[in-house]
Structure 1
């Protein structure tokens, strides 16, 4: 059957209330243009565009859709600890994608680190902090003797073993970042205590990285009167962050902005519960609004947050980078305006800083009932509720066992029992998911899901839109699903 032309499809999609138009699309595009922020620090993959035949749009086939969805998927299994494995995936809407993610095992202390980073105003800040943040956190958790050893050896790579690291930073920036990190290590060693508190250290590491992003622009400028356009692009773009540290049953989640962490818990009667660990820092959070209003004069109450955005421009009310909302007006005039023009200073900019990178840190003690955690950028949560996501992963857990070959429970099993086993398996195969990777499973349902299941036409239409149009319907999506080891948690000391 012929597919209608793309302009007809778009009109249909725009009229349908099944699709969400991202409220910050126009703001982000305009901001990136007038800031002149470089679009990328490295090459990323372009989105799939539908081909045309005789002027008619030819949408991707089911096989091509699956190829698109699985392009960035990754899986890692562990042989010890409270995390058995994790699945991750990303799906771009922007070109290039502005989300990043990272995962690493601490090498000098126990603990697994995982983070999701959602950039805006370009991908620069998100890419940079994804390369640097886990090292900052791993260093903050070290006792004094190990910090001194690390400084003596000058080997920051010994801090963490990263997985699936796809981001590359240009060489001249790497030298700047190494110098900043060494200074950070020396200050940690001078002020470190024997028993680091994880919550405090997470806060300190995140805040210090954000401060270094500013220093890497301002200190060279103060010394030589020259601004490095690469460090400036990182400082003026921004990113929200959700990063977790897991050590046995102890789970800490640090959140800055509007990414979220949700735990899937199984009740005694085998029902799924979604435990939302984090709270978004946006205009829907009344406590966050009260905090911002309290930090500025009463005369600014109508301008500090307008149209549900900071100064009428930025949707997240906390983030890393975004120094356009943190530096003084004089600093912006000296550093940013010569390169970016007068609009580098927001309207109604009277009492900066307006923005903070201060994370909220949450603690949760894992129990055997906690089966998995979903860590994702807001692109997923715009399309699925926490409970919908948890139920989808729970169903996926049940169905993915059928990806493995059938194993007989014992050698002397009777033929009749084998027949019953095969009959049960054949019936259960109906629930087998299309994707082995749970993050991909979530992506498929987030984009193409309906109350009757996944609609291939809807999925194909949305995946074939050009980036400038796609961004009107959905955001970049990054998902990591961590699976917990119930037996390990069952035998942990209380």
Structure 2
């Protein structure tokens, strides 16, 4: 099985962002450690790859400056000043910004578009995919990756395909690493399954990876193990958790090097190496991966965190169905609260989840990195001391860290066949970070994409009208958390402005829909106000069609 990159997995630059008529509090995470620009750290992050192969319910008001926009045309409004008034625990603070022009807004919306417009591989049901991102953090902490993996088969086009969205927090070190390593690790694991290697239930560390990379091991392993959905799910889960084990445990294994006699001429020093390698462990990242097995007509979606994937299915009568493929894994989800309480002693029942967050700090309950929730107190303090010795700010060890780990990278994996016996056709899968889902419901995203397929350029459509134009059938399965209104229309409209990139269409509508003035204001904010008002957003839309139609 060969591995071929076909799209960009880009390093994301910071951008300015957002406010909207319909405002949602951004999901905040633990405080980030201070970023470093040293080459040692960059080398350390890459080394981990080799080893692996505040928001406090702010209320806000807006007002215009003395140059009132009343009576002015939209073009006159652009370039004028506007104020954002943030009401927090210390009272109201006012921030002034310059509203960007329509041309500047369009540049921000479209400058990071990517994807593949025509896959062109007969037998592959994926015919196209679109990706885009708009940042809020500085730098943006999101990453993504998309890859075709040609399969060893007599029939060309029976590919494996991997699409991932990575939502970093407390810095971008973890997401930067996963951008480069998650798909190679999954590819190696799936190649091992195809060769007959079955993953163990227990994450075994570096030794198991060296065995997995050794063809001799495959030769003498469980040859004859079948490629089936259960084994594929186990393989994906094992790859996620084992990669995270390397990220979080590699710095711990280097602690012993700090006790060796120092050599004044040594560069980098053992402590510098440890701190560099600890960066992806100190930060964190949620991740979601869609895996398409063209040969077996299978779809898998793995999630660790609070990203989300939804599928749009079209029935023979033309109606649509929203299929929520994931369930947000966060401290507000009763299922995750119950799971975590069962995994820890009864004495920690009130502290494993506190105020809807892991130990009162982290909102997602599953993530790569976030090692302060996985290390023991002694390990965390030793790593923190090393950071301070290098004049770097560590993330503080958690206060009730009695029986770690409290956060896991083990994903839940959803399995679907690409065809069903009702004749429904899978038309698209939408994957996005929570920055999109803070502002759109799952059902709204499916309606927006269904209507986009009919007319990407169209006059604005009232939000109350769209469900009537594109009826949604009831879901086949119970709707996963969070169950939201179906959908959430207000006295406003959706925009159809001819976007050639479907992800841009969704991001555009998440930024105040068809209200261009508010969209401009959302994209004119910067600094901490931007992050208070909305999150980084990254979105990939994968389009499907009958495999025999692909040429």
TM-score normalized with structure 1 length? 0.75
Q: Which runs of 5+ in 2 are unaligned?
A: 1-16, 43-77, 84-95, 153-158, 198-205, 260-269, 459-494
**Cα 1:57–1:322 shift into 2, 3 Å:** closer
Q: Distance in 2 between matches of 1:200 and 1:106?
A: 19
Q: Is 1:392 equivalent to 2:433 in the alignment?
A: no
1:362 alignment counterpart: 414
**Cα 1:191–1:128 shift into 2, 3 Å:** farther
String of CA shifts for 1:365-419, please: whole Å, max 9, x gaps.
11251100001111111100111111111111112499xxxxxxxxxxxxxxxxx
Tell me by how many angstroms 1:284 deviates: 2.9
* Superposed counterparts of 1:53-68, under 5 Å: 57-68=97-108
Q: Distance in 2 between matches of 1:252 and 1:371?
A: 15
Secondary structure of 2:455's counterpart equals: helix
1:234 alignment counterpart: 280
2:175 to 126, 133, 146: 126
Secondary structure of 1:96's counterpart equals: coil
Q: Distance in 1 between matches of 2:412 and 2:191?
A: 21
Q: Distance in 1 between matches of 2:208 and 2:179?
A: 16
Tell me by how many angstroms 1:278 deviates: 0.7
2:120 alignment counterpart: 79
**Cα 1:137–1:385 shift into 2, 3 Å:** same
2:214 to 186, 200, 219: 186
Q: Is the 8 A contact 2:372 2:395 kept in 1?
A: no
Tell me by how many angstroms 1:461 deviates: 0.3
Q: Is the 8 A contact 2:307 2:328 kept in 1?
A: yes
Q: Is 1:472 equivalent to 2:532 in the alignment?
A: yes
Q: Is 1:463 equivalent to 2:514 in the alignment?
A: no
2:187 alignment counterpart: 138
1:407 alignment counterpart: none
Secondary structure of 2:321's counterpart equals: strand
Q: Is the 8 A contact 2:496 2:505 kept in 1?
A: no
Tell me by how many angstroms 1:19 deviates: 1.0
* Superposed counterparts of 1:401-420, under 5 Å: none
Q: Distance in 1 between matches of 2:395 and 2:148?
A: 42
Q: Is the 8 A contact 2:98 2:524 kept in 1?
A: no
Tell me by how many angstroms 1:279 deviates: 1.0
Q: Distance in 1 between matches of 2:193 and 2:326?
A: 31
Q: Relative to structure 2, which stretch is displaced further, 113-122 or 278-287? A: 278-287
2:131 to 67, 73, 88: 88
2:243 alignment counterpart: 209
Q: Relative to structure 2, which stretch is displaced further, 479-488 or 178-187? A: 178-187
Q: Which runs of 5+ in 1 are unaligned?
A: 1-9, 43-49, 149-177, 403-430
Secondary structure of 1:291's counterpart equals: helix
Q: Is the 8 A contact 1:399 1:433 kept in 2?
A: no
2:545 alignment counterpart: 485
Q: Is the 8 A contact 2:143 2:176 kept in 1?
A: yes
1:435 alignment counterpart: 499
TM-score normalized with structure 2 length? 0.67
1:22 alignment counterpart: 26
Q: Distance in 2 between matches of 1:333 and 1:339?
A: 10
Secondary structure of 1:344's counterpart equals: coil
Q: Is the 8 A contact 1:143 1:192 kept in 2?
A: no
1:448 alignment counterpart: 512
Q: Distance in 2 between matches of 1:131 and 1:286?
A: 33
**Cα 1:186–1:448 shift into 2, 3 Å:** same
2:437 alignment counterpart: 381
**Cα 1:71–1:311 shift into 2, 3 Å:** same
Tell me by how many angstroms 1:105 deviates: 1.0
2:353 alignment counterpart: 305
Q: Is 1:264 equivalent to 2:312 in the alignment?
A: yes
Would you say how many aligned residue pairs link Structure 1 and Structure 2? 405
Secondary structure of 1:251's counterpart equals: strand
1:198 to 214, 218, 232: 232
User: Greater helix percent: which structure?
Assistant: 1
